[in-house]
Amino acid sequence: MRDSFIEAVCERMDENKNIFFVTADCGAPALDKLKEDFSDRFINVGIAEQNLINVAAGLALEGCVVYAYAIAPFLTMRAYEQIRQNLSIASQVRPVNVNLIGVGAGMSYVVSGPTHHCFEDIAIMRLMPNMTVFSPSDWKLAADFAGYTIHKSGPKYLRFDGKTLPLIYKDTDNIVLENGFYKLLNGDKVCIISTGYMTHKALKVASEFQNVGVIDVFILKPLNEKLLFEAIKNYRHIITVEETFINNGGLDCLVSKVIRDNRPNIGFDNLGISDKHIFELGNRDYLHKLNGLDEENIKEIIWENNW
């Protein structure tokens, strides 16, 4: 999804001379072409995420549309204060169109250990006023978002998975990006709500049932709470699945607030990473199993509530 997004940006750089692409020494096949075609608007700041944000902010203050690319945990956490001061606060007073491309959401860099896992980003980026948080589940949705980033001012965090994922959205014509989510499967009693990589797992689990709904949340801020409630109000039970720390501001908190504010008797389970870092090694499915994000566990919750 990273490359499809960069390709979509690259296409727009030809006609829009105000677009800059800045990277903290992170590459991508699609970036090679961008670098070659637009060398005067491609900047590699080196492994310096703080300066990445500051330089991006300076470019944006001069009216440029800026894409700032780094590894997700380092982008969001190493440079958190720069994002706060020069993007979140500044954009409340002056136009600042900086789009943060964080690659390596959740467990993307599975064997690189807890420094490269990114379980905090949804919560900490949602926390900041004026921020948009985008978490696509496939490359088509990611590419569609490129046009949105140019025309909607303000800082945005784009949370991309580090692995190549299969297509979910064959056709995005019917998707209204501003709605922030899409009902992939209509269900009866139980609905799985997921974001990013986990939407693939949610669909796989739901395919084994006839009546389990799946909602893919791709904009975690701003969230159209009213619309989301309309989508889930008739379910008996909701399960959120995400590769982030749960109970601390992620997708689960967002959904549980919608439930609490509107119909508190909807049943709710939130699956994700509990309050500890993961040192264990293995593939993504293995780490999911260790943390209750495996298919069997999701199915068990469905069986308990699908009656």
Partner 1 sequence: MKPEILDFLTKKALWVRRETIKIHGIAPETRLASSLSDVEIFVSLYYGKILNFNPKKPKWLGRDRFIISKAHGAISLYPILADFGFFEKSELTRVCQKGSFLGGIPDTQISGFETVNGALGHGLGVACGSAIVLKSKGLKVFVLMGDGELFEGAVWEAVMFAFQHKLGNLVLIIDNNKISMLDYCKNIINLDPLEKKFQAFGWKAVVVDGHNIDKLANSLKDLKADNSDYPKVLIANTVKGKGVSQLENDVLCHVKSLNKEEIARAMEELK
Report, in Å, the least distance between residue 119 CB and partner 1.
Answer: 25
DSSP-assigned beta bridge partners for residue 185: 214
Report, in Å, the least distance between residue 218 CB and partner 1.
Answer: 29
18: left (phi over 0), alpha (psi -120 to 50) or beta: alpha
CB 291 within 8 A of CB 244: no
The CA-to-CA distance between both ends of the chain, in Å, stands at 38
> Between residues 87 and 122, which has the closer beta carbon with respect to partner 1?
87
The rounded distance, in Å, linking the Cα atoms of 57 and 65 is 10
Residue type, 179: N
> Between residues 96 and 118, which has the closer beta carbon with respect to partner 1?
96
> Which is it for strands 19-23 and 267-273: parallel, antiparallel or unpaired?
unpaired
Residue ranges binding partner 1 (CB under 8 A) = 43, 45-46, 48, 50-51, 53-64, 81-82, 85-86, 89-90, 93-94
> Between residues 61 and 77, which has the closer beta carbon with respect to partner 1?
61
Report, in Å, the least distance between residue 48 CB and partner 1.
Answer: 4
> Cis peptide before 222, with omega less than 30 degrees from 0?
yes
> Between residues 22 and 239, which has the closer beta carbon with respect to partner 1?
22
> Between residues 60 and 203, which has the closer beta carbon with respect to partner 1?
60
The rounded distance, in Å, linking the Cα atoms of 3 and 28 is 7
